Amino acid sequence: MTDADLRARLLAAAADQLASSPTNDVATRAVCETVGVSQPVLYRLFGDKQGLLDALVDDGFARYVERKSALRATGDPVADLCAGWDDHTDFALTNPAVYRLMFAPRPGRTSAARRQIFDILVRTLTRCAAIGRLTVDPVVAARTILSANVGVCLNMINQPGLYDDPELPRRMRDIVVGALVGVESAPADVDPLAGGAARLLAQLSIAGTDELVPEELALLRRWLTRLATP
């Protein structure tokens, strides 16, 4: 059996144990016994127990990114945004143990996949901005939405007795998304110049242009960013 096969089997055994653990933990000895290998084999492949948990997190993010990448964009970016929220919630509640590891605060732990998740959300929000449906910068909106979505999911996973309302994610989604993209046109007190600059900046991010050289495009982006910032 190759190391890749052993690694996959050990990860699967650890994931099964994690899912059934009341303490959201795994025992390396039990994982090895399930696969039929000695603990030194696990340590050689993962370094230590924390390395095994980190690998579970990386696998969870990889599955999440694959799932997100498979979502088809429609002509309505706001609907796509809501669908993305719902898909995130479904992933969390279907994979609570791994999700808890993925999104629980862990100082010093970074993940390229986690950044990829954020970038996918920013792209959807940029499409919302391009049609005039976003009230803040796409990055600011992404931070707001992801924080709210993760917070709701972790509360429902960690405190199911208190957060037992299945409609809570949808209500939170409607509140957060409604505050950021819920209007069909700009309110009267919104600066039309700032709104127009924000939409053009978003359109440039999506489609780009061949009419300007890179230096001109960078200068235009700088001007638009300045005009779009209240």
Confidence of residue 223 (pLDDT cuts 50, 70, 90): confident
The mean predicted confidence, pLDDT, of the chain is: 87
Prediction pTM value: 0.76
192: pLDDT strictly greater than 70: no
176: pLDDT strictly greater than 90: yes
10: pLDDT strictly greater than 60: yes
d(CA 119, CA 125): 10
Q: What is the pLDDT of residues 133-161, one digit of tens each?
A: 998 999 999 999 999 999 999 999 999 99
Q: Please report the pLDDT score of residue 44 as a whole number.
A: 94
**Domain spans of the chain, in order of start:** 1-47, 60-185, 189-230
Q: What is the mean pLDDT of residues 107-116?
A: 73
CATH architecture of 60-185: Orthogonal Bundle (1.10)
Pick the CATH number of 1-47 from 1.10.3470, 1.10.10, 2.50.20, 3.40.50: 1.10.10
Q: What is the mean pLDDT of residues 85-90?
A: 96
Q: What is the mean pLDDT of residues 8-17?
A: 94
184: pLDDT strictly greater than 70: no
Distance set, CA 214 to CA 16, 123, 171, 211, 227 (Å) = 51, 21, 44, 10, 20
